[in-house]
Structures are given as C-alpha cells and as structure tokens.
Structure 1
Amino acid sequence: MADQPQFLRDEKNSRLQVSRSDTSEATLQPLQLGERVRSLRLSQNLTLEEASKRTGLARSTLSKIENEQISPTFTAVSKLVHGLGIDLPQLFSQPSPGAQPSGRRDVTRRGEGKPHPTATYEHELLATNLTRKKMVPFVTRVRARRFEEFAEWVRHDGEEFLYVLSGTIWLYTEFYEPIEMQAGDSAYYDCTMGHALVSASPEDATVLWVTA
C-alpha cells in the first residue's frame, strides 16, 4: 500500500499527542468486586447491618456479594452506589497503591481549542495545555461527504470513543458494514481497524472524539 498522504499523517499525529506509559502502568489487575465492596463499606466504618439499611439490600445478599458468592445485578449495583454515597467508577476501579492526586486540570472554553483542519475533517483539539495525557479529546466538524474522499483508511494505535453532537454521519469501519449515526449516538472501537466518517446531513456533522 502506498505511503499515507500528508493530511492523513497529520491527522494521525494529532491523535497521538500523548506519551505512552510503560507496560507496567498499562497492565490492569483483575477486579475483585466483592473485595472492593467490602473495602468501601469498611472505609465508612459500616457493619453489614448498617450497610444493609443504607443500601436496601439484604444483609445476606451483601455478604454473598463481598464473598464473591454471587454477582450483583444492575439494580444491586445502583443500590450500592446510592447507599454508600459513591460514584459508579469508584465501585469498579481500585486506586493504585500509594497513588497521590496530581491536581491536574485544564479547561477549554467554547471555541478556544487548537484548530487542526484536514482535507476531510476540521478538528478542534481540547485540553492542549496538558502533556502526557492518557486521553486525547477533540471535537470535529466532518467535512467529507463521500468515503471516496479518503485516500485510504485512517488507522492508528489505541482505542477511540465517538459521540455524535449534531447532524448525521456514516461511520465506516474496516470489518463492519457502514452504519448511520445521529446526534446522541456513540461508538467505541479499536483504532488499528481502519475507520472514517462522512457527513450524511445537509450541514456538516459535529462529533466528539476521545482517543486513548
């Protein structure tokens, strides 16, 4: 296959403005949900009986969840989150040992992102003041109207989340049939798989992309 045109190389580079962590940082340990529930309960100095009253789950059910005897249903997870006063990510993510908050923050006001136009997309890169990001967020106006406007598939390392903000698009992916997506629709996919977006509405569609 011929070398990528410059605009596709520029597009790829715009998504990779984050240094890679070493392999050890990228390795995720299997989540023991029961242990996590027990840890969260004990961090609040709650007995099983007290946690039962707060969550509305039977004491025996809580005990079985903590001992990995049953997997909680979606309803049970919702009760745990609300009863223990935590956010859902706290339940499903274990803080790294000795981890300290870095206090990093970057606010991008509307229209103040870094513009990066290409032949098919008009990107607005967000949170550009932060280096070594684990995610690269950007808003894109999809200018392409036909798949043939792409010289070849767009592909790069990582995974990507796509959320349609306005208009209608066709999402082309290498191993799947094209799919029409409208405002409010989203997709998550492997970026090493070829992909491309085309606006299907009279106006240019806009999307939010987050690349990890």
Structure 2
Amino acid sequence: MGIELLTPYTKVELDSQQTKKRKQIGLFLGKFAPIHVAHLVIADQVRRELNLERVLFMPEFDDKKGTIISLLSRALKGYDGFGIDRSRLNNRAQTLIETMRELTENHQDTDFYFIMGSDMVGYLSQHEDAVALAELVQLVGVQRPGFRTGTSLPILWVDVPQIAISSTGLREMMHQGITPQFLIPDAVLEFIKERSLYGL
C-alpha cells in the first residue's frame, strides 16, 4: 500500500534527504475508550509506510483508576514499534498546539508525525492553530469509513485498510451485552470483563 494524495492541493512528499541522525516518531491522539483493532492497524500501517521508529498513542483522558492507560498497555504489550505518551493525558490546561511546541522543544532531534483520521482532518482544517501545528509537525491523514474530506493543509495521506469500527459503537455493543470478539485485542477484552467495564 502506498501514500494516496486524495486532494491535489495537499501534496506533500517525504524528504528523501532526511538525516538518519533524526528520530522519526508518530503521535496518535485519541480517547481510546476502548482501543480496538482499527487503531492498531492504522498505527502499524503508518509506521511501516513512513518508516517511523515508533508510534506513540496519546490518550486525552483517563479516570482515577488509570483505566485507559491499562487498556493501552495491554493492547501494545510486546510491540516494540508502539508506545504511550502522556503529554495530553487529562491536560486541560494546555492546548494541543502548546503540547506540540513543548514536545518539539524538548526533543529537538526528533521529527514528529501527527496521525489523524479524516474526521479530525476536517475539524482541524477549521481550527485557528492548524497552520501553526503543520509548521511544528508533519500532519498525516488516514481515511475513515464515512468520512472523506479535502483540506489545504499540507497532509501526507497514508492508505490503510478501511475498518468500520468505532469506540462509540463498541461501547454500545457491550452495554447491550454483546461481546465484541475479534474487534478488540484479547488482552484488552479480558481486562474489560475482569473490571466489568462498559456494561460487560
């Protein structure tokens, strides 16, 4: 699978002269409540296509028990190409652009790739900090079923398998007593059952 540029005015190419001394790290922001196989497929495909060292999942919120971090830790265990970044975790005092500025300042040897679904691309395009964010990090877009958008922002579109799964839909299934077998990593599903999360 290659990089698909869906709109002619968002053409971006990776610099073939990038120095090997710089780290290439992906950032995947989300709620991950719960994390599911589509999240993992997206992260893995982007990492492979763009030859990133790692993709770091950036959860936005968690409860006092650390439920989301526990779910992420179980889903990512054993995968060296994945990790967790807590910069945005319950960090309501900072805007996204402030977090990204802090990250780039603290890791000046790293190029960051900010991974977004097409639904978030549409939202970000209307945000006042969008251009500033694009100057700090490389924006990476992936298509989500039901969301197709164009933008004038400089975005790398990466072609990934279209898997119509959402955390919202999974929570609804579980509240109805339906076990989302194969849609959530086994270790995550076991933890959900152990803690009786989302109605299971």
What TM-score, normalized by structure 1, do the two folds share? 0.22
**Which structure has the greater CA radius of gyration?**
1
Higher helix residue share: 2
Higher strand residue share: 1
What TM-score, normalized by structure 2, do the two folds share? 0.23
- Structure with higher RCO (Cα < 8 A, 6+ apart): 2
